Amino acid sequence: MRRLILLLLLASGSSALAYDSGIAVQTEKGTTMQVYVNGKLYNKQPGKFVRVRSAPGLFHLEVKVLNPWNKQWYLVRKDIRVDKGFEFQYKVVFVNKTRPELRKINQYPVYSRYFLNPSLYNKHPIT
């Protein structure tokens, strides 16, 4: 009986630690974007801010962003490493009003309030 209880506690505890990192991407004022992580689209409607929960590891981040000056879509690619327990924030910045660039702003420790408010993250159903 004790082993069964211990197994149940370990199984429920490991699922709570599955997502303990995050990626946040934002754009400049007046621009919209679509974010792809490892080839998967995370926001179907173009927006200004996207937050994705993830496990730690290496990710291929692609951001399709609309330039507000010439109204053309650009694709920015970057390989990023996400560490356990941190949320990494990136911002799309236009250099000379033409070429977009993805810059790392900050990294913050993940607090429990993020897990208590699932509306802060974009999640996809498992198919």
* pLDDT 10s digits, 2-46: 887 777 776 665 545 555 788 889 988 878 899 999 999 988 888
SS percent in the chain: helix, strand, coil, step 5: 20, 50, 30
The mean per-residue pLDDT over the stretch 60-88 comes to 90
Answer whether 12's CB lies under 8 Å from 5's CB: no
The count of structural domains within the chain is 1
Query: Does some domain include residue 126?
Result: no
Is residue 98 one of the residues assigned to a domain? yes
Residue 95 in any domain: the answer is yes
Residue whose C-alpha is closest to residue 37's, from 78, 93, 92: 78
Q: Answer yes or no: is 6 within a domain.
A: no
Q: What is the mean pLDDT of residues 68-74?
A: 89
Cβ atoms of residues 35 and 50 within 8 Å: yes
Assigned token pair, 17:
């630690």
Kindly state whether residue 110 falls inside one of the protein's structural domains.
yes
**Which band of pLDDT confidence, cut at 50, 70 and 90, is reported for residue 122?**
low
CATH of the domain at 69: 2.60.40
Predicted local distance difference test score (pLDDT) of residue 80: 93
Place of tokens 């004790």: 2
Domain, as residue range, for 114: 19-120
**60 domain residue, yes or no:** yes
- The answer to whether position 34 is within a domain reads yes
Domain contains 75 = yes
